[in-house]
Amino acid sequence: MILRGALVPLFLLILCLVCSSTLRAEHPKVKRLVVQGAIYEGDVPVNLGSGLFVEKSTRKNATLLSVSDVSIDVEGALKGPFIAEIKLNSDGSSVERLFPIEDPKLDLEGITARKNGQEIWAADESGPSLVQIERATGHSVKRLIAGEGLPTYLSHAQANRGFEGLCATPSGKLVAILQSTLAENRSQKEHSVVTRMLRIDPEAKRWETFVYLPEIEMYNNSSDVRLSGVTCLSDDQWLVLERGALANGGYANRVYLVDAQLSKPLKDEEALEIEDAKNVHDLFRKFNVQPLVKTLVLNLRHYGWPFEKSEGIGVSDDFKTLYVSNDPDPEKKEKSEIWRFLFEKPLWTRPCSINWAFSLIALALMIAGVSLVLLLWSKRVKELNS
């Protein structure tokens, strides 16, 4: 009976471990799809794929939203940014509809949707700002900027290195990434190792700033590395695209899983001080900051990815299909492409409601139970031998 009681906590511990969120290491099948019907200015394709959001997805078909910072009218004149609806099937992909954005000054680099797809949000790199857009009209409904819904330190973002990716969590918060470090001088641009991810409540206009540390040892300096896309798996787990020119002369395009659950956010007043730090880890200890925990998911170069820019990322609801888009370089005659990575099993599994606190309790109960069994068994053996 006592032994059986000791097995109960052991069962609970195993259940907790199984129910914890899991990242699966698996080699996916890759499908390379050129976006047909892309908009052209002369012979040069207008860039699609700066940001990516998966509206619907099955094993063979998908509907994606993408953003671009330029479009053309029916006469071929360049106009403002737009949202493109892209249909994917087993044979290829094509642009189905365009939704022009009314503000021509926006430099859109990320897109997501909240409230079952009814509320569209886009990331503006040049602000940097976050913009809620009415899908039917392209009107800007709401805009969050530094000091008004977003932290004031964003005014120190490098020119053309602001928000580069955006996703929405299941609870409705927005997760935005800065492409590069904050920097006011060349030394900071080359030596700072801190980039940032923000989790934002657009209604309450509150936010948390998380520290993201790139794999800086691979690059010449921090100005060579960029974060270029993000997609939300849960409220705390997100996939991030990291890319940049390597110190050995090559180029990196990688997907990382980051986990905010074990991280401690950075306070706004500490942001610029950390940027100037020579030993940033000393300041992490001083300010009680814990950077985001990172795990490599995919090295796109291992699957033949030929582009410098990996810009958009999205995932299906069952986590079995990952989508990555490029941002084509017209000078290199590149075309807009979306790569589909197909996994046999879910790339990531949701955690159960049972959490690690219960795991620790179960472990303590198991140790206590086993100790009691051993104590009683020892006592019984002594009685038999006496």
| 272 and 360 share one domain | no
Does the structure show a pLDDT above 90 at 59?
A: no
49: helix, strand or coil: coil
Average pLDDT of the segment spanning 128-143: 88
Are residues 93 and 36 in contact, defined by beta-carbon separation less than 8 angstroms?
Answer: yes
pLDDT of residue 110: 92
pLDDT of residue 358: 52
Are residues 121 and 111 in contact, defined by beta-carbon separation less than 8 angstroms?
Answer: yes
pLDDT of residue 271: 63
| 156 and 305 share one domain | yes
| 297 and 384 share one domain | no
Average pLDDT of the segment spanning 211-223: 83
Residue, of 164 and 43, whose pLDDT is higher? 164
| 307 and 377 share one domain | no
CATH code (residue 186): 2.120.10
| 246 and 276 share one domain | yes
User: Which residues form the domain of 356?
Assistant: 1-20+352-386
Summarize pLDDT for 185-213 with one digit per residue, the tens.
Answer: 555 555 677 888 999 999 999 999 999 98
| 193 and 316 share one domain | yes
pLDDT of residue 360: 61
Under the banding of pLDDT at 50, 70 and 90, the label for residue 282 is confident
What are the CA-CA distances from residue 14 to residues 289, 326, 363 (Å)?
Answer: 31, 42, 10
| 79 and 8 share one domain | no
Rounded to an integer, what distance in angstroms lies between the CA atom of residue 267 and that of residue 270? Answer: 5
Does the structure show a pLDDT above 80 at 42?
A: no
Percent of the chain having pLDDT more than 90?
38
Average pLDDT of the segment spanning 278-283: 72
Are residues 337 and 49 in contact, defined by beta-carbon separation less than 8 angstroms?
Answer: yes
pLDDT of residue 18: 47
Summarize pLDDT for 229-280 with one digit per residue, the tens.
Answer: 999 999 999 999 999 999 888 999 999 999 999 899 988 766 666 665 567 7
| 287 and 381 share one domain | no
| 294 and 368 share one domain | no
pLDDT of residue 278: 61
What the block records as the tokens of 89 is 């099937």
Under the banding of pLDDT at 50, 70 and 90, the label for residue 2 is very low
| 86 and 154 share one domain | yes
| DSSP letter assigned to residue 329 | -
Buried/exposed code over 338-371 (b: 16+ C-beta within 10 A; e: otherwise): bbbbebeebbbbebeebeeebbeebbebbeebbe
Percent of the chain having pLDDT more than 70?
78
| 158 and 305 share one domain | yes
Chain mean pLDDT for the chain: 81
Residue, of 215 and 176, whose pLDDT is higher? 176
- Cα atoms found within 13 Å of the Cα of residue 132, Cβ hemisphere only: 15
What the block records as the tokens of 183 is 């920097």
Residue positions counted in the chain: 386
Are residues 292 and 284 in contact, defined by beta-carbon separation less than 8 angstroms?
Answer: no
Q: What is the sign, positive or negative, of the torsion defined by CA atoms of 97, 101, 106, 111? A: negative
pLDDT of residue 156: 80
| 134 and 171 share one domain | yes
Count the domains in the chain: 2
Under the banding of pLDDT at 50, 70 and 90, the label for residue 353 is very low
